[in-house]
Structure 1
Amino acid sequence: MAAEGIWSIGELAERASVTVKTVRFYSDRGLLPEAGRSSGGHRRYGPEALDRLRLIRSLRTLDLPVPTVGRVLDQDDTLEDVIAGRLRELGSRLTALRWQEASLRLLQDCTAGERAERLRLLGAVPALPDTAALVRFWRRTLPVRLPARVAATVVDAAVPQPPEDPTPAQVLAFARLHALVSDAMADGRRLVVHPDDGDGRPSVLYEGLGEAYALAAPDLRAGRAPRAGEALDCFVSAYARSHGTRGTADTPAFRRSLKGTLAQGAHPVIGRYWQLAAELATPASGPAEPTPGAAHYWLCAALGGDIAADVTRDTP
């Protein structure tokens, strides 16, 4: 007969509506301290064990691992931190499942010939897509002399984030983008982002271009045709100020020269990158946020139109 307020393992199990095996499991792992042992060596528990056992069961229904439950009970980890971590983990798992669903739909809605190529592309992408390969690509592609602070800003703007709930088209765009940068890095040759990367002061160029892209973004969102204005002036100024060791003036002659230089274009891989990045950034509904590549091409077109207009004005 147990003493008053002291329960056997069976009594505790009955009060908690669990099995004796469950009580023994948590006891053996140190989560449920015993009040003592009977003369026959049987486990005994006090009333506080019931509250602790109920808390353990509640934490376990959240699918928390037993070691994590133990740290919460011992107050080594706060319950708030554990919940936050669990939510992050579940968010990642849900995102992975949404990507898996979109990938399956991508494979379902295609011809047999397309399916083999899509399987190859998808097989190279992690189950939970990340941008590590894209970041490495840009860090190797940007000018070596570019300061770390400026390089980080450029990379942040250039690398699109995979959507949490992608469409099949976005899954395909990301898989192609991943393959594009992987092949480019395997090739080993350095790509040219801007035709005059090797000349002048790259930090001045990239900081100025970032400002110009931001100024052009409202026109791109509104679907306006390329045009002269503040964004174009900032764009040309970035190239002029970075030209050589001291920069040069923004003159009609410089603009004509710059147009010719930009007409050579960046490496084809860079052009394809921006095309795929735009596809990845296109939401299921609503306009897409313009990429730096879209802003660059818009400004190049604006420069061409500005020069054409200038020539027209000068023609008798």
Structure 2
Amino acid sequence: MDSATLYSIGELSRRTGLSVRTIRFYSDANVVMPAGRSPAGYRLYDIDAVPRLELISTLRELGINLATVQRVLNRELSLSHVLSAHAEAVDAQIRMLRQRRSVLRAAARLGSSLQETRLMHRLVKSSAAERHRLVDDFLAGTFGTEGADANAVAMVRAATPDLPEDPSVEQVAAWVELTELIGDEDFRARMRRAAAVQAGGQALGIGSEADDELTEYTRCRISEARSSGIDPLDDEATPVVEDLVQRFAEALGRIPDAEFRDWLAGQWEVAHDPRVEQYWRLVWVVNGWQVVPELIPGYAWLVRALRRDS
């Protein structure tokens, strides 16, 4: 072969931008083979070595190992297949790094201790299957007893929390709080009672007699009071409470006395437990749903107002 058509390592280095040392390494690894030798014994390479080295350099910069690069060059693997597989691997790494970033930021925002940070990291990096098992255990422990309300189970299961693979800081914090909440036996009992009421669309003994119009009227009065910034423990709340107590007493055929007020408060406490409402808020955050405060009944406000003088 005419030596004028061949390139020395130095010339190849100038054409490709790779160092002589790097080209020699690839040559020693038999990834780029010399086409011949100079009279002095130096390796010489043909023109095909230039695009071959450029491809090797590009794939290596993309993080593809040398063994895989060589299989691509030998046409044992298609370039498309390798790039696609590597892109998926990079996606997984990106998701993992984003999870770590979210955990770090959430831990910093919450002022978490090292132990709490470790727990947060373990919970977030758990697989989707592991997270689903955690929720299934909660559902079984809460509604797995004989006689559980089927509608309540269906309602809770339809809104199963599912942490995304690329969670935000808010979703990480909500997921950690949610896992603590669903593991609490007292909360499970509260959830069981409240879900049965909510699934039926009415509040225990109240809804059986009070019509939809009164229920909607109650919701509007509470919403207006809350929007106006009225504290349930202030005197400004008294007209709202007295109005509602009188209307429910008439609908239920009861005397609007202190005993009836206490009974009303007890009914709403079961149907709209604050810890249960917090569960639904956390589920919405974890699932990435838009949290609309007014969708969560403000009955906690009414309960506090009813209990003010008790």
**Structure number with bigger Rg:** 2
Q: TM-score, normalised by structure 2?
A: 0.50
Q: TM-score, normalised by structure 1?
A: 0.49
